[in-house]
Protein backbone atom coordinates (compact mmCIF):
# COMPACT_ATOMS: atom_id res chain seq x y z
CA UNK A 1 0.00 0.00 0.00
CA UNK A 2 1.32 3.37 -0.96
CA UNK A 3 -1.30 5.60 0.61
CA UNK A 4 -0.16 8.96 -0.73
CA UNK A 5 -2.34 10.28 2.07
CA UNK A 6 -0.62 13.27 3.60
CA UNK A 7 -1.57 15.74 6.33
CA UNK A 8 0.21 19.06 6.20
CA UNK A 9 0.35 21.79 8.84
CA UNK A 10 1.99 25.18 9.09
CA UNK A 11 4.54 25.30 11.90
CA UNK A 12 4.95 28.59 13.77
CA UNK A 13 7.32 29.81 16.50
CA UNK A 14 9.06 26.43 16.50
CA UNK A 15 12.58 25.23 15.85
CA UNK A 16 14.34 21.99 15.14
CA UNK A 17 17.87 20.74 15.12
CA UNK A 18 19.29 18.95 12.12
CA UNK A 19 22.78 17.77 11.28
CA UNK A 20 25.34 19.98 12.90
CA UNK A 21 27.38 21.77 13.97
CA UNK A 22 28.61 22.52 10.46
CA UNK A 23 31.06 25.06 9.08
CA UNK A 24 29.97 26.73 5.84
CA UNK A 25 32.22 28.04 3.05
CA UNK A 26 32.45 31.44 4.73
CA UNK A 27 33.78 29.80 7.87
CA UNK A 28 30.75 30.44 10.08
CA UNK A 29 29.68 27.64 12.37
CA UNK A 30 26.04 26.58 12.40
CA UNK A 31 24.63 24.99 15.52
CA UNK A 32 22.24 22.94 13.41
CA UNK A 33 19.17 24.74 14.77
CA UNK A 34 16.73 26.25 12.29
CA UNK A 35 13.16 27.63 12.38
CA UNK A 36 10.53 25.11 11.20
CA UNK A 37 7.91 26.18 8.64
CA UNK A 38 5.79 23.12 7.79
CA UNK A 39 5.21 19.55 8.88
CA UNK A 40 3.87 16.73 6.75
CA UNK A 41 2.51 13.62 8.42
CA UNK A 42 1.82 10.44 6.47
CA UNK A 43 1.56 6.67 6.77
CA UNK A 44 3.75 5.19 4.07
CA UNK A 45 6.88 3.25 3.28
CA UNK A 46 9.83 4.28 5.44
CA UNK A 47 13.31 4.89 4.08
CA UNK A 48 15.06 3.45 7.13
CA UNK A 49 12.73 1.94 9.77
CA UNK A 50 12.28 -1.85 9.53
CA UNK A 51 8.52 -2.02 8.78
CA UNK A 52 6.56 -1.95 5.52
CA UNK A 53 4.69 1.15 6.69
CA UNK A 54 5.40 3.73 9.37
CA UNK A 55 3.98 7.02 10.56
CA UNK A 56 6.36 9.54 9.07
CA UNK A 57 6.80 13.17 10.02
CA UNK A 58 8.88 15.64 8.03
CA UNK A 59 9.50 19.01 9.65
CA UNK A 60 10.65 21.26 6.85
CA UNK A 61 12.02 24.74 6.25
CA UNK A 62 11.63 25.18 2.48
CA UNK A 63 13.30 28.61 2.62
CA UNK A 64 16.51 26.81 3.65
CA UNK A 65 16.37 24.09 0.99
CA UNK A 66 15.39 20.40 0.94
CA UNK A 67 18.20 19.46 3.33
CA UNK A 68 16.63 21.52 6.14
CA UNK A 69 14.54 18.61 7.28
CA UNK A 70 13.88 16.80 10.52
CA UNK A 71 12.46 13.40 9.71
CA UNK A 72 11.12 10.60 11.87
CA UNK A 73 9.69 7.22 10.89
CA UNK A 74 7.64 5.81 13.79
CA UNK A 75 6.11 2.40 14.26
CA UNK A 76 2.35 2.56 14.72
CA UNK A 77 2.70 1.66 18.43
CA UNK A 78 5.26 4.40 18.99
CA UNK A 79 3.13 6.93 17.13
CA UNK A 80 0.17 6.12 19.39
CA UNK A 81 2.32 6.55 22.49
CA UNK A 82 3.62 9.83 21.11
CA UNK A 83 0.07 11.11 20.56
CA UNK A 84 -0.77 10.29 24.20
CA UNK A 85 2.42 11.94 25.44
CA UNK A 86 1.77 15.08 23.37
CA UNK A 87 -1.83 15.19 24.57
CA UNK A 88 -0.80 14.89 28.22
CA UNK A 89 1.93 17.49 27.83
CA UNK A 90 -0.28 20.00 26.02
CA UNK A 91 -3.00 19.62 28.69
CA UNK A 92 -0.46 20.06 31.49
CA UNK A 93 0.87 23.21 29.80
CA UNK A 94 -2.40 24.95 30.72
CA UNK A 95 -1.33 24.82 34.41
CA UNK A 96 2.09 26.37 33.90
- Applying CB under 8 A, which residues contact another protein? 1-8, 38, 40, 42, 44-45, 47, 50-52, 58, 60, 62, 65-67, 69, 71
Q: Where are the alpha helices (DSSP H) in 31-75?
A: none
Q: How far is the CB of 40 from another protein (least distance, A)?
A: 5
Buried b (16+ CB within 10 A) or exposed e, 63-88: eeeeebbbebbbeeeebeeeeeeeee
- Nearer Cβ to another protein (76/88): 76
- Nearer Cβ to another protein (1/26): 1
Q: How far apart are CA 9 and CA 60, in angstroms?
A: 11
- Nearer Cβ to another protein (16/42): 42
Amino acid sequence: MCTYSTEKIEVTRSSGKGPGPMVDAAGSVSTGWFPLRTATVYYDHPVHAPDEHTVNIDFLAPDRGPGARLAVELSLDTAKELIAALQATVERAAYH
